Chain A
Amino acid sequence: MSTKKSVKKGSKKKTAAAKKTVKKALKKAAPTKKAKKSVSRPRAAVAPKRAAPRAAAKAVSVTSAADFMAHAYAMEAEAAERYAEFADAMETHNNREVAELFRKLARIEQRHADQILEHMGWKQSPATAANVSWQGMEGPETADPTELHYLMQPYHALQIALHNEKRARDFFANLARSTKDAGVRKGALEMQEDEAEHVRLIEEWLKRTPKPDPNWETDQDPPVLSD
């Protein structure tokens, strides 16, 4: 991640290579099918259109560049863990295509987290990361579990991912605006740039992903008796 350079000198090449790897992973993970001309019915399995939960709405107090990296690590690790949980849930419900997609997203987020550890020379999650508190309920890149649906399709999963990348981008933008620490500001701006790039890549990925059929959530054997 490019943020590293503001914290540790002499890692430009390494950082650029790491960034390239992530971009490559996102591109590689994206399917190449052409989009169908159908519209999804936005219910549970899409990114919420309402205001983002309180988590991403406020700035978080970050006191130094190292503290900033601990926050960034906590954010990526939490996002990775959530996507992995989503993948497990989808696998259990035999929605393998979406499970695989969430698994890919989890790997990508975990790679970001690992890169931060590697760059900072941390052998494990820093103690400060365990005590990071977001002013909302969860980290700004963590997906909302109530948006899942057992019949959701890759398009929905990507919408969730897009929503989270946008929240992450906005979080760093807000932090860059509000911090008084020059190192933190520089790091936040670079992270904002990274997240904006992820937004762009996922938007491209979405363009290549078939849109769900309007009746995507129709279940011939529904669990709800009152349906």
Chain B
Amino acid sequence: MNAPAAAAPITAQAFKSDYKPIWCPGCGDYSVLSSFTKAFAKLQLRPENVAVVSGIGCSSRIPAYTNCYGFHGVHGRSLAAASGLKLARPDLTVVVASGDGDGYSIGGNHFLHACRRNVDLTYVVMDNHVYGMTKGQPSPTTEPDWDSKLSPGGTGLRTFNPLVIALAAGANFVARAFAGDPNGTADLIADAIGTPGFSFVEILSPCVTFRPEQREWKQMVRPASVPSTDDAARAARRLMTDDGMNIGVLYKGNRRPYQPPVGKGKKHPSDLEVEFSL
């Protein structure tokens, strides 16, 4: 009897859906989508074992463009939905896609507590320093002096620093990537997925429509000059001198991921249904 033929390797193409993205031509999110599919292929995940969960915004359209389980949730609540999914189905690889508005403003509270809770998720935030889908309002990462018709003279507000917040709140993996480096970003996402616990990857993803000056990011980003650390204090010190353009893994810890209590008292979902039945 012949030995069974080895299964063909899963390719990035296998994770692309038949829907074509409707992002603006030149948007960094195209490359991030490509990085998602490359990362899944690199890890040889199977589409039926992956779920991509999102909130609202340009970046949150990603579940429609990936061929795996997907959930396009409500604004800022992607992490809540994803946490529930991961705890109910720990066998799934759950990746959450968000943007700087959805993730840091509307979903800011969930971000803090997801880091603290340390459920085994990978949280990817495509940061373009603007609300693109709603036509260019300043977001939490917009520079205080960014002048536009919708924010004359700028907001004057200091910017939110996502890496500092993630590290301080307890994320187990903290990294920054650049959309213009889709292969490097795919490696980072694969690393984040492979690291147990809550992994946070901020991706600088230019919005060429509302922030055309972000085209220059490709000339500004650089690989971080130091390797990642498992020492949160050292990572924090590095962030003190970070100008936001260093790419790579900043921190990779070893906190044990959150596990729901098991054994006594654990109820089957059908038991819970009974409690709510009218």
Contacts and interface: CB of A to CB of B under 8 A. Distances in A.
Contact of A146 (B34, B42, B150, B206): B206
Nearest to B212: A44
A144 interface: yes
Contacts, number: 82
Contacts of A124: 8
Nearest to A43: B212
Given A44-B212, A137-B180, A138-B181, A150 B219 contact: no
Contacts of B149: 225-226
B148 interface: yes
Interface stretch (A31-39, A82-90, A113-121): A82-90
A50 B20 contact: no
Nearest to B33: A85
A147 interface: yes
A134 B184 CA distance: 10
A137 B206 CA distance: 16
Contact of A44 (B20, B34, B180, B208): B208
B183 interface: yes
A223 B209 contact: yes
A138 B183 contact: yes
Interface in A133-177: 133-134, 137-138, 144-150, 152
Given A44-B208, A144-B180, A224-B210, A137 B25 contact: no
Interface of B: 8, 20-28, 30-31, 34, 42, 135-136, 148-150, 178, 180-184, 206, 208-210, 212, 215, 218-219
Nearest to B218: A53
Contact of A147 (B21, B26, B30, B148): B26
26 contacts: A44-B208, A53-B218, A53-B219, A85-B30, A85-B34, A89-B20, A89-B21, A89-B23, A89-B30, A90-B25, A92-B22, A93-B24, A130-B42, A138-B181, A138-B182, A144-B180, A145-B25, A145-B26, A145-B27, A146-B26, A147-B26, A148-B208, A150-B24, A150-B25, A225-B136, A226-B136
A44 B215 contact: yes
Given A147-B26, A224-B136, 10 more contacts: A85-B30, A89-B20, A146-B206, A146-B208, A146-B218, A149-B25, A152-B25, A223-B24, A223-B135, A225-B149
Nearest to B247: A137
A91 interface: yes
Given A44-B212, A144-B218, A145-B28, A92 B183 contact: no
Contacts of A149: 25-26, 208
Interface in A63-103: 81, 85-86, 88-93
